[in-house]
Structure formats: structure tokens, C-alpha cells
Amino acid sequence: MRIVSIVGARPQFIKCAPVSVELRKNNQEILVHTGQHYDYELSKVFFDQLGIPTPDYNLGVGSASHGKQTSMMLIEIEKVLLNEKPDFVLVYGDTNSTLAGALASVKLHIPLGHVEAGLRSFDRRMPEEINRVLTDHASDLLFVPTKTAAENLKKEGICKNVFLVGDVMYDVLKQSITIAKQSQILETLAIQPKNYFLTTIHRPSNTDKIQNLSQIFEALSSAAKKVIFPVHPRTEHFIKKHGLERSIGRNIHMMKSASYFDFLWLEKNAEKILTDSGGIQKESYLLKVPCITLRDNTEWVETVEDGWNILVGTNKEKIMDAIHNFNPTGEQRDLFGSGDASTKIVKILEDYGSNTITYN
């Protein structure tokens, strides 16, 4: 099969890495990078570390408002699809690149697969929620990471061609943890295993409101330990624009976005992780590190049900309480499969291509 894979933002590079390896065993993959993320720290370093092939197309779309960014991607992706005439298009996750890829594909009647389908936060103000819902309803094959995701789709009437394959980010994590051990990041930052907190903040609901970001910084500044804070460019711009450096305590170590291996090693050795990212909530669970989620909702509800993740929003008192008292010890379930999601996805795709698929 000739398959076009569309990626554009940091989490998508991670998700496509193992799928790309599997795809290329028996098929031709044409990799398209929309250019949504373009900084070295958010893009190229992931290609280098995870051995992702150089994209066949880089659309260079870059940053813009949601409508403009998505529409520029749509125009450019359509040109690629008309030129390449693939048998199938694969999109990943929930970014604007995902939605643009999905729309371009269905408008040209090219079968579409969505990796990480079925996730819902039930918060329609999140741009990602709209991207997920629309992409799922446009897809021909839906690869879901969890049972909850499959149930979410069922409630929306999507029952056909939903495949519970597990989570591709677990594939990458499993394959990378040994290499991550060689990271020197703890030495560079002069921190000891299990004696620091790790935080990431990039959701518009947190970064675009001074009140929310200040509450988070005040809580983090009161932690008695060092807080490692790789800063997303969106957050960095906002901090500078509003002079928020003043509310950032001396225990908070701000650094540029970390590479995949360094970040994995920082996660594994953290005492606790405080984040508003979806992928990091999942990685915390897999690495058995308590996760304090700086949001009021999550797509990864199982991690909360199992007691390893707590939702605290941006309430200063709740964040401080979790920093001091959230110490999960409970049993964990196999929530995210066995780390072979990419093999399963490619097998299903190949069956689909040879018309041997059984519809469920």
C-alpha cells in the first residue's frame, strides 16, 4: 500500500515513530510534516532521536490563528494527496494538523485511519476536543488506545471498524527507556532521583490567563524542592509578555523544551509530575510516577480511577495539597496495551488493503 502519514506537532512525531517502522516493512510510506511545530526543540530533535525518516514533504505552515493554520494546512495537504494518490491516509492524535489531514483526505475520498481515536475530555472549549470529534467522525479505521475510548465512540454511534490496539506511545516508551538511561540530564541539572518535581504547562486554558498561570506558579514556588520546568514556547511568550517572571520562585528551574530521551529520564526519576499535557499523564502512569494534572478534566480517566493521577485544575490550595499529600501506591492495570500497538495497526491496515478485514 501507499500510505501518507501526516504529522505536525511534537506528540505526533513520537506517535508516528513506531508505526512508521512497521509500515515501511511491507508498504510505501510518504511522510508529511505540516510544519505546525518548527523549532529544533519541538521538531527536529525528535526525528533525530527516534530515527524518524526525513519527511517527504514539509509544508512549512508554522504558527497562526486556528482557522488560518488549519486552512493553510488543508490547502497544502490536498495538493500532496492529489500528487501522491495514496491508498490510505493516517493521522495521529488531536492537533490542528490531525484535523487538516482528516478533512483533506475525506474530501478526496481517500480512506482515513485515526491513531489515538475515541479520546474525549467532554470540554468543547479545548481545540483538541473539536479536532478529535471531527477526525473520528471522518475516519474509516479507528485505532483506540483504551476501552474507554471505544466506549466513547460507541456513545456517538461509531461502532464499525473500531480497533482496540493499545497505545503507540507505550510502544515508544518501552523501546526507549534503556536508551534514556544514558541521558546525563540529572547530572547537568544537579538533581537527585526522586528528589525533584517535574512540570509542563502549555494548554491555552492555563497559559492564556494570567490568573491561572500565577496560581500555578505560586503553588510551585511553595514546594520545598526543586521544580524542573521545560518551557513550551507558547508559555514562554506569555510569561515574557505579562512579566510573570516575578511570580516564579527560585526553586523553579526553567529550561528549554527537553528532547525525548532527556524528558523520559526526567519523568522516570521525578518524585511527582505536575502537568496539563495528555501524553505526560499517560507516561507518568506507565512509569509509576504520581501525576498531578493541572486541569479540571482529562481524556485519560483510567489513570485517575486507578489513583495515580489527580485533577487539581489551577487552584493554588489544591495544587499545594497534592504536592504534599498525593502519594499513590495502588495496583496498576494494563491500561495501555502491551507496547505492540504499532504492529497491530499496520496488520489491520494491510488486511484492509487486501480486503481481508472483518468488520466488527
b vs e for 199-222, b when ≥16 Cβ sit within 10 Å of the residue's Cβ? bbbbbebbbeeeebbbbbbebbee
The Cα-based distances of 63 to 99, 129, 176, 279 in angstroms read 15, 19, 30, 22
| From 7-15, 140-148, 177-185, 350-358, span contacting ligand UD1 (CB under 6 A) | 7-15
Grid coordinates standing for 177?
Answer: 527507556
Q: Count H helices and E strands in the chain, helices first.
A: 16, 13
Task: Tell me the number of residues near ligand UD1 by CB under 6 A.
Answer: 19
Residue positions annotated with a catalytic role = 202
CB of 124 to ligand UD1, least distance (A): 13
b vs e for 16-28, b when ≥16 Cβ sit within 10 Å of the residue's Cβ? bbbbbbbbeeebe
Closest CA relative to residue 162, chosen from 140, 130, 133? 140
> Which residue, chain included where needed, has cell 504520581?
290
Q: Is 282 in the site for ligand UD1 (CB under 6 A)?
A: no
Residues 27-46 that bind ligand UD1 (CB under 6 A): 36-39, 42
Q: Is 233 in the site for ligand UD1 (CB under 6 A)?
A: yes
Kind and range of the H or E run holding 164: strand 162-164
Grid coordinates standing for 134?
Answer: 471531527
CB of 339 to ligand UD1, least distance (A): 22
Residues 119-158 that bind ligand UD1 (CB under 6 A): 127-128
Q: Select 131 or 176, whichever has its Cβ closest to ligand UD1.
A: 131
The three-class DSSP label of residue 307 is coil
CB of 65 to ligand UD1, least distance (A): 9
Closest CA relative to residue 202, chosen from 131, 278, 262, 269? 278
Q: Select 232 or 318, whichever has its Cβ closest to ligand UD1.
A: 232
Q: Is 230 in the site for ligand UD1 (CB under 6 A)?
A: no
Q: Select 28 or 63, whichever has its Cβ closest to ligand UD1.
A: 63
Which positions from 55 to 94 touch ligand UD1 by CB under 6 A, shown as an x/- string?
--------x------------------------------x
Q: 168-180 vs 341-353: helix axis angle to the nearest 10? A: 140
Q: Is 95 in the site for ligand UD1 (CB under 6 A)?
A: yes
Q: Is 205 in the site for ligand UD1 (CB under 6 A)?
A: no
Q: Is 199 in the site for ligand UD1 (CB under 6 A)?
A: no
Q: Is 15 in the site for ligand UD1 (CB under 6 A)?
A: no
Question: Which residues sit at the interface with ligand UD1, rule CB under 6 A?
Answer: 9-11, 36-39, 42, 63, 94-96, 127-128, 202, 232-234, 237
